[in-house]
Chain A
Amino acid sequence: MLKYTEDHEWLRAEGDEIVVGITRHASEQLGDVVFIELPEEGREVEAGEEIVVIESVKAASDITAPVAGVITAVNGDLADNPGNVNDDPMAAWFFRIKPAGDGVLDGFMDEAAYSDLIG
């Protein structure tokens, strides 16, 4: 089941890890993505820490870690094909994170709440 952050990230629990990407709404607001800088695998991050840089034709923006934890994998294919974020944002995951705590997804929005947020 998908959860969403106020920063327009989607979060998908897979085993004891969370897969993170950005929503279609976010990718449309960004415009054509031309460059993505991903964090290093194994990096320990704090919740809210800026760990991904996305550059679109318009501007640079950051993606933050939704929860504290360790980056277990990054989608290296995105660095070569940043446009995938526009083509299929739900498939274009950025990183997997192993949260430091339990039940960390409980506080995030579900699909209905996120739909309300973006109107």
Chain B
Amino acid sequence: MAEELRRTGLYDLHVAKGARMVPFAGWEMPVQYPMGVMQEHLHTRAHAGLFDVSHMGQVIVIPQDNKLETAALALERLIPADVLGLAEGRQRYGLFTNDRGGILDDLMFANRSDHYLLVVNAACADQDIAHLRTLAGVDIRPITDRGLLALQGPEAAPVLARLIPDTAGMRFMDSRSLDWQGSELWISRSGYTGEDGFEISVPQDRLTSFAEALLAQPEVAPIGLGARDSLRLEAGMPLYGHDMDETITPAEAALGWSIPKIRRTGGARAGGFPGAGRILPELADGPAAARRGLRPGTRAPIREGVPIFAQQDGADPIAQVTSGGFGPSVGGPIAMARIDPQIPAGTTLYAELRGKYLPVTVTELPFITPSYKR
């Protein structure tokens, strides 16, 4: 028997908007609306798209001694990032790692003055919370009385400023609490599309009315998980469980940039997180293969699991596609795979699809130029 699917606070709104609902990470989520994945994607890149990401886990980490430093240093035992150096009102991207150097999950963490707010993947949330509860000196509180929205696209900022004027002054990766009609929203200027935009935590009892207020703006359309995936793929962003998992290291996932010097060999707070013994030497020496882009030479999409070959000679594959599909803004198929970094960009490799070897070109990520407001 399938486990009962959970519904977000916007379920009725999705259905009213004509969404096709599908199971995703234990939740019943909109994969697309009548506009369709292609137009939803293009609408987000041209105007503004509203995503329900309430399935994602929101967790706050509170220091028991009321010193934020205590919580920062606790989190640094699980996350190879500079948590201590993160200024108040700022957010960063990070990873939970395991003893073998693999990635347990990726997350955003924000310094909210007296605590940290973490946003983790839906499928990993329970495991992440249990993992966090191994830490001493902090209280771990899953936030269950809030939903999470993402408003993404070049017109996201003017739209949100119409409802909440103070968002206009926020920069990329700022995180603030702001009032909307008497309710406190937790807003960060960030997203998963390569566009400027915001992620907005809203009390459950205001979630539908706030989403409706956004959707009432002429620039905004509701966007499903289908376009969320093609948008992040074009932006060169990895998806947990596909482009990275507990067997893939930060360097292999091309996420070494999230591990700053201060946590690397020779840094003031080097190591001290799970798997440091593998992760840090690999960052210094370079991995044997790392996540890179592939541009198929034909119109045929090359999807997850497709084997990649160096030559058309039937020798063993050198890689496997970890994410792939059609990029509506790129106007053709795009894919990612872990490829030897020694292979220069521009090299032709071959994807085996339906018994044929199709040429694919190794490219740098991302496939589109992000437009963050730094």
Give A contacts to B, CB under 8 Å.
31-32, 34-35, 37, 53, 55, 57-60, 79, 82-83, 86
Option from B32, B36, B300 in Cβ contact (under 8 Å) with A37: B300
CB < 8 Å neighbour of B303 from A53, A60, A82, A83: A60
Give the residue of A34, A60, A86 whose beta carbon is less than 8 angstroms from that of B299.
A34
Partner of A34, one of B31, B39, B301, B354: B301
**Are A53 and B326 closer than 8 Å at their CB atoms?**
no
A34 proximity list for chain B (CB < 8 A): 38, 299, 301, 326, 333
Residues of B near any A CB (own CB < 8 A): 31-32, 36-39, 226, 230, 299-301, 303, 325-326, 328, 333, 354
Q: Select from chain B the residue with minimum beta-carbon distance to A29.
A: B20
Complex Cα–Cα for A60 and B324 (A): 12
Whether A31 lies near B301 (C-beta < 8 A) is no
Check if A60 sits within 8 Å of B37, measured CB to CB: no
Are A35 and B226 touching (Cβ within 8 A)? Answer: no
Contact between B301 and A35 (Cβ–Cβ < 8 Å)? yes
Taking CB atoms, residues of chain A closer than 8 Å to B303 are: 59-60
Which partner residue on chain B sits nearest A50 by CB separation?
B354
Residue of A nearest to B34 (CB): A28
Given A53-B354, A58-B226, A32 contacting B301 (CB threshold 8 A) = no
- Is the Cβ of A35 less than 8 Å from the Cβ of B299? yes
A57, B326: Cβ atoms closer than 8 Å: yes
Q: Are A57 and B300 in contact (CB under 8 A)?
A: no
Q: Which residues of A contact B31 (CB under 8 A)?
A: 58
Decide: A57 near B38, CB < 8 A? Known: A31-B32, A31-B226. Answer: yes
- Bound-state Cα–Cα, A86 to B32, Å: 15
6 pairs, CB–CB < 8 Å, chain A vs chain B? A34-B299, A55-B300, A57-B38, A57-B325, A58-B37, A60-B301
Say how far A63's CB is from chain B's closest CB, in angstroms: 14
Q: How many Å lie between the Cα of A53 and that of B226 in the bound state? A: 21
- Closest CB of chain B to A52's CB: distance in Å? 12
The 4 closest A-B pairs by CB, nearest first: A32-B38, A34-B326, A57-B37, A35-B299
